[in-house]
């Protein structure tokens, strides 16, 4: 399978995140993509190429100009506050919840960090913009490869994307790579595109981007948000709104879910997908459903990832895989490449 990979991803490397009052090393780290690219090469799964840079107008198909401007200039603004910030990551400290106003963009950079983010688990670093941008390049190039005749392509990106909305970051995500790929497929002429999100966490960003639209179907299998990040979205009763009503499907599953129940949900997703009859598919490929994942509480095993790929291939659709979460470092390469190999065989 043709893979788009850009080593600039390594420039996004957070120092730490905050978990239950403790300062812990970032789970989302450069090694994740390095290990997947090494496993891809080891198993000879096809060409690994560097993407062409896409224009900012491609990103504006999904993200607001205001948010992109913020993100592009964030590091310089952070340094402008205090040159000593150079060796600190930027974290938000105040958010416009409920009765607070979000219609006026504050001038203060720390306040703008809060306006454009959803959590304090996502460090913004010196290399965040370049990494996120070249990651988005991978996603858009992978989508474009389908028009150039590939049956499938893989965007090996990080930071991941599915928690990022049109104008906010969070959950380790800054630019919504899957949404950008889906939009590019539409802009290339597809009439309907489906996004299947298999990451352990609900893809709140992707859902919110397409919630009112019928040209992109969003289906997600994930941990029940009553007890898992992102907590405030991902329930089964979220089915879309306005013209998008009926084009959003959430399949939340309880902690401890293992292969039988997970694959039953995948079957439900595939049936809904088939009835939508999309012209292409984007898979948000998180492997944090793995039993050994340090953040998660599902119990898929490495061999199960081969079966996922086989089932997806059976849909018979031109497919873009976009890398999302997965934090079990030792097995991350095998788990991701198993999906791709299962798809190809």
Positions that interact with ligand SP5 (CB under 6 A): 19, 121, 160, 163, 171-173, 199, 201, 229, 286, 288, 294-295, 324-325
Choose among ligand SP5, Zn ion, none what residue 294 binds, the Cβ cut-off being 5 to 8 Å by kind. ligand SP5
Q: Which is nearer to ligand SP5, 293 or 341 (CB)?
A: 293
- Closest approach of Cβ 190 to ligand SP5, in Å? 25
- Closest approach of Cβ 222 to Zn ion, in Å? 8
Q: Does 199 bind Zn ion (CB under 5 A)?
A: yes
Q: Which is nearer to Zn ion, 199 or 331 (CB)?
A: 199
Q: Which of 137, 89, 90 is nearest to 116 (CA)?
A: 90
Q: Is 222 a catalytic residue?
A: no
The distance from CA 183 to its chain's CA centroid, rounded to whole angstroms, is 14
Choose among ligand SP5, Zn ion, none what residue 121 binds, the Cβ cut-off being 5 to 8 Å by kind. ligand SP5
Q: Which is nearer to ligand SP5, 144 or 202 (CB)?
A: 202
Confirm if 336 and 39 have CB atoms less than 8 A apart.
Answer: yes
Provide the token pair at 267. Answer: 């079957």
Question: Closest residue (Cβ) to ligand SP5?
Answer: 325
Q: Does 17 bind Zn ion (CB under 5 A)?
A: no
Q: Which is nearer to Zn ion, 204 or 319 (CB)?
A: 204
- Closest approach of Cβ 271 to ligand SP5, in Å? 26
Number of neighbours of residue 227 by Cβ within 10 angstroms: 11
φ/ψ (deg, to 5) at 311:
-65, -40
Please give the Cα distance from 94 to 106 (Å, whole number): 12
Catalytic member of 63, 144, 162, 163: 163
Q: Which of 262, 280, 163, 173 is nearest to 221 (CA)?
A: 262
Cα distances (angstroms) measured from residue 171 to each of 53, 101, 168: 25, 23, 10
Q: Does 325 bind Zn ion (CB under 5 A)?
A: yes
- Closest approach of Cβ 201 to Zn ion, in Å? 4
Provide the token pair at 182. Answer: 């889906």
Give the angle subtended at the CA of 193 by the CAs of 249 and 202, to the nearest 5°. Answer: 35
**Catalytic positions, please?**
163
């Amino acid at each position: 399978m043709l893979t788009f990979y850009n080593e600039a991803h390594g420039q996004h490397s957070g120092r730490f995140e905050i978990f239950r009052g403790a300062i812990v090393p970032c789970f989302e780290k450069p090694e994740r993509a390095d290990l997947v690219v090494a496993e891809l090469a080891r198993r000879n799964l096809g060409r690994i190429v560097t993407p062409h840079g896409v224009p900012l107008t491609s990103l504006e198909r999904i993200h607001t100009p205001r948010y992109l401007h913020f993100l592009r200039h964030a590091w310089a603004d952070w340094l402008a506050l205090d040159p000593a910030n150079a060796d600190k990551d930027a974290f938000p400290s105040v958010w416009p919840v409920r009765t607070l106003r979000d219609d006026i963009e504050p001038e203060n950079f720390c306040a703008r960090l809060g306006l454009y983010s959803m959590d304090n688990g996502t460090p913004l670093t010196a290399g965040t913009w370049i990494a996120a941008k070249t990651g988005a390049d991978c996603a858009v190039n992978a989508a474009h490869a389908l028009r150039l005749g590939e049956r499938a392509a893989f965007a090996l990106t990080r930071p991941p994307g599915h928690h990022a909305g049109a104008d906010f970051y969070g959950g380790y995500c800054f630019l919504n790579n899957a949404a950008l790929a889906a939009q590019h497929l539409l802009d290339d002429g597809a009439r309907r595109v489906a996004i299947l999100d298999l990451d352990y966490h609900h893809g709140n960003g992707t859902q919110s981007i397409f919630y009112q639209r019928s040209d992109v179907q969003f289906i997600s299998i994930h941990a029940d948000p009553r007890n898992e990040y992102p907590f405030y979205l991902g329930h089964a009763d979220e089915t879309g709104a306005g013209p998008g009503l009926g084009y959003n499907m959430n399949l939340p599953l309880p902690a401890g879910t293992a292969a039988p129940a997970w694959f039953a949900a995948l079957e439900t997703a595939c049936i809904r997908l088939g009835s939508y009859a999309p012209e292409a598919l984007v898979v948000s490929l998180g492997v944090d459903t793995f039993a050994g994942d340090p953040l998660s509480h599902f119990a898929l095993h490495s061999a199960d990832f081969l079966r996922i790929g086989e089932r997806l291939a059976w849909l018979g659709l031109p497919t873009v895989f976009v890398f999302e979460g997965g934090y079990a470092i030792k097995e991350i390469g095998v788990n991701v490449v198993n999906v791709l190999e299962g798809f190809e065989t």
